[in-house]
Amino acid sequence: MKAIAIQTFGGPEGLALIDLPVPVPEAGQVLIAAEAVGVAGADTLIRSGALAAYGFKEGHIPGGEVAGRVIAVGDGVDTSWTGRRVWGFTGTGGGYAEQVVVPVEETLPLPGELSAVDAVTLGSAGVVSHFGLRHAHFAPGETVLVRGAAGSIGIMAVQLAARGGAAAVAVTTSSAERGERLRRLGATHVLERSGAGGEDAPAGYDVIIDVVAGEDMPSFFDRLNPNGRMVAVGAVGGLPPADFGAKIMAAFQKSMSFAAFSAATVTPADLRAVRGEQFAAAGRGDIETVVHEVLPLEGAVLAHRKMDAGEVFGRIVLKP
């Protein structure tokens, strides 16, 4: 089968199309013939080598989520899974391939009205946004800022905050055109990436959902209201400054808080329940999945170039 591997850390040109043996599902696993593979910000960080200290090595196959049809099952797996259309979570990698093994407990059947492309656009981003807002103790009537709102996580956070009764949903993005698209999804105020602009925007926010992190994170912490909560759900812009904690302590009397959130801390049962609800909602049209572009598997280099250039609104999907 064909797969995409990181031959050398660095730019997108380090990705290469390779041949691999078809994997055999082990006990508790299913083999999925992939029809759609999500391209995530984490994939670009791994490819760059920025996460090498966490055990990622050259030769790694990126891709954390796929959707397609189960074509084989391992020992202990009910054979009724064979032939089902499913979404599957591969964890830290392995998804950029024509056929992918996934633990059956990380596999979820798809409703008939939801495409494989839409499933990988929503599957991970939706639960991160849902539980990220919960981690921030978001409540109806509060003001929310989504930093880095043009990606799949940010787009979902905007929709969920708006549907959850936020008094205002401000976003940071790179262009007026993207801002208008985000308004149609529920945003009420549009700011520049730096946080400038939006003269009618709230002076402060009760909740900030940050997908970006990076050197500018401290300036956004300053935008929290007293008792405000900032939750980092991603770090596509890199790590914040080493002295970021000093900013938190300097605002001691305002009782503002900062937290990081990873879906890895949510129980599999809770992830499965929320993801199933979101798949059903998307199938009904209650949640909008935003697909930037669908490319063939060998288009992974182009996909990563677009991701690195900040050209993507929503999610790029690879179609083996």
CATH number at residue 14: 3.90.180.10
If asked whether residues 145 and 242 sit together in one domain, one would say yes
pTM of the model: 0.94
pLDDT band at 73 (very low <50, low <70, confident <90, very high): very high
If asked whether residues 103 and 135 sit together in one domain, one would say no
If asked whether residues 105 and 157 sit together in one domain, one would say no
Range of the domain at 183: 124-263
Report the 10 Å Cβ neighbour count for 25: 22
If asked whether residues 169 and 65 sit together in one domain, one would say no
Residue range 221-237, pLDDT digits in tens: 999 999 999 999 998 88
pLDDT band at 238 (very low <50, low <70, confident <90, very high): confident
Q: Identify the residue whose tokens are 């919960």.
A: 134
If asked whether residues 141 and 190 sit together in one domain, one would say yes
Kindly state the percentage of the chain with pLDDT values over 70.
100
Residue 275 lies in a domain: no
Counted domains in the chain: 2
If asked whether residues 103 and 139 sit together in one domain, one would say no
If asked whether residues 147 and 248 sit together in one domain, one would say yes
Domain boundary, last residue among 248, 263, 278: 263
If asked whether residues 139 and 204 sit together in one domain, one would say yes
If asked whether residues 252 and 131 sit together in one domain, one would say yes
If asked whether residues 79 and 135 sit together in one domain, one would say no
Q: Which of 197, 152, 133, 151 is nearest to 170 (CA)?
A: 197
pLDDT band at 61 (very low <50, low <70, confident <90, very high): very high
Residue 221 lies in a domain: yes
Q: Above 90 in pLDDT, residue 269?
A: yes
Q: Above 90 in pLDDT, residue 239?
A: no
Residue 167 lies in a domain: yes
If asked whether residues 17 and 99 sit together in one domain, one would say yes
Mean residue pLDDT of the chain comes to 96
Structure tokens at 11: 């730019």
Residue 180 lies in a domain: yes
Residue 249 lies in a domain: yes
Residue 278 lies in a domain: no
Residue 279 lies in a domain: no
What's the CATH code of the domain at 210?
3.40.50.720
What pLDDT was estimated at residue 196? 87
If asked whether residues 98 and 129 sit together in one domain, one would say no
Question: Do 211 and 154 contact (CB within 8 A), yes or no?
Answer: yes
What pLDDT was estimated at residue 77? 98
Residue 308 lies in a domain: yes
